[in-house]
Structure 1
């Protein structure tokens, strides 16, 4: 029985082999949602909720430093970015799950990729159902 490659490995192999080139039409089916949060624990909890509800295929989070204006002052502080990869039709579901977990003003932005490699879209389509699984 052949060993199945992890999604990350399949993606890398597709890029190296020239297969799985970016699919301009498939990109309309995927959205990335950029979310700012206070800490990694929040990001982890939200990511797990999204994955358990099959509202996302993959989530990444990483620390950043944020500088912003607040009441006439410039403030710098640490934040965490959560990057959610999902189907376009599930963006409102994802945003609802994030809003239910966060009680402060944060950024939730939809990003529409120009193109997505077909191996990633295949994985997204296998793992995140079209219907009301959420």
Structure 2
């Protein structure tokens, strides 16, 4: 394992599986992330003055830290939510070969 601080997992959510998968595909096609994982979740959140809940689809993108701002902007432009969740978490450690793969697949 290696400690690299130059990688991120960027997360967003969607209320529709098809939209989530379309966003995942668009991001990977743009080479802003090496891969995206789409999976169902149940969310509870404050919105419009009350607690709401619902099924959503979470998308986790694996990318380089230097692409974080571009990826965040791209997600925001493509997203249908008024205020989409876009959160980046640094990768503290990871297998060198996997991190090298992320670099190779996100090269401009």
- What is the TM-score with the length of structure 2 in the denominator? 0.90
Q: State the distance in 2 between where 1:126 and 1:69 align.
A: 39
Q: Of the two, which has the highest radius of gyration?
A: 1
Instruction: Point out where structure 2 has 5 or more consecutive residues left out of the alignment.
Output: none
Q: Report which of the two has the higher share of helix.
A: 1
Shift of 1:92: 1.2
Q: State the distance in 1 between where 2:59 and 2:13 align.
A: 6
Q: Which residue of 1 aligns with 2:98?
A: 120
Please point out which of 17, 20, 26 is paired with 1:49.
Answer: 26
Q: Which residue of 1 aligns with 2:69?
A: 92
Q: State the distance in 2 between where 1:120 and 1:89 align.
A: 17
Contact 1:46/1:97 (8 A) holds in 2: no
Instruction: Point out where structure 1 has 5 or more consecutive residues left out of the alignment.
Output: 1-21
Shift of 1:54: 0.9
- What is the TM-score with the length of structure 1 in the denominator? 0.74
| Higher RCO (CA < 8 A, seq sep 6+) | 2
Would you identify which runs of 4 or more consecutive aligned residues in structure 1 move more than 6 Å? Answer: none
Q: State the distance in 2 between where 1:55 and 1:115 align.
A: 20
Please point out which of 66, 87, 103 is paired with 1:109.
Answer: 87
Q: Name the Cα RMSD after superposition.
A: 1.3
Q: State the distance in 1 between where 2:47 and 2:31 align.
A: 36
Q: Deviations over 1:17-64 (max 9, x none)?
A: xxxxx201x2x1111101121121111111111111111101001111
For 2:103, what is the secondary structure of its paired residue? helix
In the alignment of these two chains, the number of paired residues is: 107
